[in-house]
Structure 1
Amino acid sequence: MNEYRILIVDDEEDLCEILKFNLENEDYLVDTANSAEEALKMDLTVYDLLLLDVMMGEISGFKMANMLKKDKKTAGIPIIFITAKDTENDTVTGFNLGADDYISKPFSLREVIARVKAVLRRTSVEKQDKAPEKLVYQTLVLDIPQKKVSIDDQEVSLTKKEFEILFLLLENKGRVFSREDILNRIWSDEVYVLDRTIDVNITRLRKKIGEYGKCIVTRLGYGYCFESR
């Protein structure tokens, strides 16, 4: 299954649902918003790609993109504009704002899917090339090459599985992982592991990281995620 998460922002609800349905058929995780105002209330940092309409309400797609590119937390999120504004000036404006692609309406769904795949393929390679050596949340630091965790510059002793769980949740802050997701990623080489094993490791991890243990939240019926406090 694809691990990429996409947000579609368009004031045409029917179009949002059509795009969502077809992208989910490609195994992407897809959310929708029917205005820039609605989208800006969401945690956009969890998305790997935005499909952004240009002509919307008070905040246009161009204006929203400009806002995102000025914010360090969202500046790196790839954007594909999907719009009926297809003049040369509009296209140039889109690319000058940092868009990764520009698709004019009407379009074929096959074209949209192909361009989404191309942008995600390219940007995922760029992310790997720029992979950070540390993950930091307040005073909690994961040193990735050395596989060490510290809080307030004091090293915390974690097992390999505990480190990998913390790395997974912190790297994807705000995203919920089911027990099955965690099993497949962290215990992939082991034949038989009980769900209870994950719960035990999460409980130990929470205790070891002290106040930050509260950031590892249980979503009943869904799984676990790391949330900012």
Structure 2
Amino acid sequence: MADRFIDQDETQIYGPHTSKHIRTWLIGLVKQYDPALEYVANQIDASTAAVKVAIDAARAKDAERRKGTLGKAPLLKAAKKLLGQFSLHLAVHDQGAVDRKVFFTKDGTATSVGAAVQEVLLVVKHIATMLAEPKSPVRDAAHWKARFEATAKALAPMAAAVEDARVERRSLTPEVEAARQVWLKVYCSAKPLVESLLRQVGRVEQMSLVFHDLAVPAGAKVKAPPTDAPAAPLTR
């Protein structure tokens, strides 16, 4: 059985394992193979490094987005608090005087507002707009309108930063996959060469020692290189 899907993180295990053992076990067995073996080992190393660059860029953008969101968490918390306070303010009006769903459109409650900054900002801006209506039935509408407008202004940069990071992260995801596909082409193209050499020296059964994915059960997630491989180079 062999690993049928090699993900981007597994390239960082399989790639170095294979290039290392091509150099330490295979080069020198049949000198005519050596230039080709050195070439594929270098190609594996280069494509493995390219995948890592793409992964690191994607994860750095994720970390930046999380840091930006956490750094401005008090703003989001304050906005949610304002929504709760406004909901309580609506509750003191005479029954039927105010249609709560005009402000909290999902179910008339502040708890229906999502947790994401974009969701909160949308509701804050909507309430500010509704409070601007000349015949608003809400007591002290001007006061609440000013508070919601100020909150919307404060939240807007935070929402924009989160969205920018998300868009850029999505644009990096295809880059990771493209790098992985190049790596797969290089890695898989090395197998026939190594198999040919091992057949020459009568050790084809040792393919899985060089290409660890051949020894991994299908569907398994590999998190570390094997530790039980023989230390001595393959010999005739």
Richer in strand (by share)? 1
TM-score (normalised: structure 2): 0.19
Structure with the larger RCO, 1 or 2 (CA within 8 Å, 6+ apart)? 2
Question: Quick check: which has more Rg, 1 or 2?
Answer: 2
Richer in helix (by share)? 2
